[in-house]
């Protein structure tokens, strides 16, 4: 490393779980305890630029990360940077270095819209580019997982799968597989969540009496969901998506203390969708570690859905998303 600094850039999309990863395998490495099937959200983006500066010794210059103008607690990134250093050494970069990363996301972060999936995938891709390392997407997926397991999926576009106990995600179908597939993101509250998904997962794993049945059930649900996706069966996929997120929240509500991410408007949207289904409109919701509601449907349902939601929950912000292409990355 003879230059003063090296720069890399990446643009990724959040990976929204259709069936949920919730719970980690005990021990090191951030391995998911449940399988997840997910889709990338094309219209939501996270653009990250990194500047890597050689340092005299490890830790001499602390790593710094800024997301939407706010500096982050670097402790959360420790495992990620340790692995980046190991990879760098095995790729012939044997001097210590420090990373400065600046991310700009066009959606609220830490609010339950999978920002950590897009954020860590973008960080990993931009660092790999800056350091000029020739890594496969599978290796980048493994690196991203150390920051956030869902980030292992964001490294790819389209529909992805991350198996339980697996180190990396894989692509099941690309963005062109189901051109009519749409995801509506209903923002009911843009505030930062009070408890991180990492903390909430650990609390459920340790204290929910339903945690073991959740692990068993999620294997079946994901297997069936993969099959429904293969058949492009929106009705079946939607029902399984709902079963998955409701099961995940059942473990949270039964944890001690209980974890409640929902807001009154979240429940309002859930009820509106229930009525719409009874009227025959194929639309199903999911939720993550936050109050926002995401809806799976086909393109033909979008205008009617938007009309009804704007009327019934007027104070929400709604974004219509298509399936994401693979992320972009380059050395700059």
- Give the whole-angstrom CA distance, residue 96 versus residue 236: 51
Residues 133-162 that bind ligand PMV (CB under 6 A): 148-150
User: Exposure string (b/e) for 229-262, b if CB count within 10 Å is 16 or more?
Assistant: beeeebeebbbbbbbbbebbbbbbebbeeebebb
| Contact status: 20 vs ligand PMV (CB under 6 A) | yes
Contact 214, 23 (CB under 8 A): yes
Minimal distance in Å, beta carbon 126 to ligand PMV? 19
- CA 262 to CA 265: how far, in whole Å? 8
Q: Name the one range near ligand PMV by CB under 6 A: 15-23, 45-53, 82-90, 251-259.
A: 15-23
Give the binding range for ligand PMV (CB under 6 A) out of 19-27, 65-73, 167-175, 324-332. 19-27
Report the chain's C-alpha Rg in angstroms: 20
In the complex, minimum distance from the CB of residue 90 to ligand PMV, in angstroms, rounded to a whole number: 25
- Residue number, 6 or 214, with CB nearest to ligand PMV: 214
Nearer to ligand PMV, 253 or 302 (CB): 253
Q: Residue 262 CB, nearest distance to ligand PMV (Å)? A: 13
DSSP letter assigned to residue 220: H
Residues numbered 104-123 forming contacts with ligand PMV, rule: CB under 6 A? 114, 116-117
Ramachandran region, residue 82 (left: φ > 0; alpha: ψ -120 to 50; beta: rest): alpha
Q: Which is nearer to ligand PMV, 267 or 332 (CB)?
A: 267
Note if the bond before 107 is cis, omega within 30 degrees.
Answer: no
Q: Which two tokens stand for residue 55?
A: 């340092």
Contacts with ligand PMV, residue ranges (CB under 6 A): 17, 20-22, 36, 114, 116-117, 148-150, 197-198, 288-289
């Amino acid at each position: 490393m003879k230059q003063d600094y090296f720069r890399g850039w990446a643009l990724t999309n959040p990976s929204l779980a259709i069936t949920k990863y919730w719970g980690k395998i005990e021990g090191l490495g951030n391995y998911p305890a449940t399988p997840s099937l997910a889709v990338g959200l094309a219209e939501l983006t996270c653009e990250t630029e990194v500047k890597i500066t050689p340092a005299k010794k490890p830790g001499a210059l602390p790593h710094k990360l800024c997301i939407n103008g706010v500096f982050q607690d670097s402790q959360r990134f420790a495992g990620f940077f340790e692995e980046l250093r190991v990879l760098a050494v095995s790729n012939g970069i044997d001097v210590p270095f420090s990373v400065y990363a600046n991310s700009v996301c066009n959606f609220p972060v830490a609010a339950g819209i999978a920002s950590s999936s897009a954020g860590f995938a973008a960080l990993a891709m931009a660092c790999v580019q800056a350091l000029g390392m020739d890594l496969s997407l599978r290796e980048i997926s493994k690196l991203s997982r150390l920051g956030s397991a869902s980030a292992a999926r964001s490294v790819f576009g389209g529909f992805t799968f991350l198996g339980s106990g697996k180190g990396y995600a894989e692509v099941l179908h690309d963005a062109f597989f189901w051109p009519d597939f749409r995801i509506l993101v209903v923002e009911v509250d843009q505030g930062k969540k009070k408890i991180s998904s990492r903390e909430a997962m650990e609390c459920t794993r340790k204290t929910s009496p339903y945690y073991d049945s959740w692990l068993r059930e999620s294997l079946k649900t994901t297997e069936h969901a993969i099959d429904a996706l293969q058949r492009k069966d929106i009705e079946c996929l939607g029902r399984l998506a709902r079963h998955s997120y409701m099961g995940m929240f059942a473990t949270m509500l039964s944890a001690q203390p209980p974890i409640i991410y929902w807001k009154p408007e979240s429940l309002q949207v859930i009820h509106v969708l229930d009525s719409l289904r009874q009227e025959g409109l194929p639309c199903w919701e999911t939720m993550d570690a936050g109050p926002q509601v995401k809806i799976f449907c086909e393109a033909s349902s979008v205008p009617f859905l938007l009309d009804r939601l704007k009327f019934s929950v007027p104070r929400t912000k709604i974004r219509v998303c298509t399936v994401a292409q693979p992320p972009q990355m380059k050395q700059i």
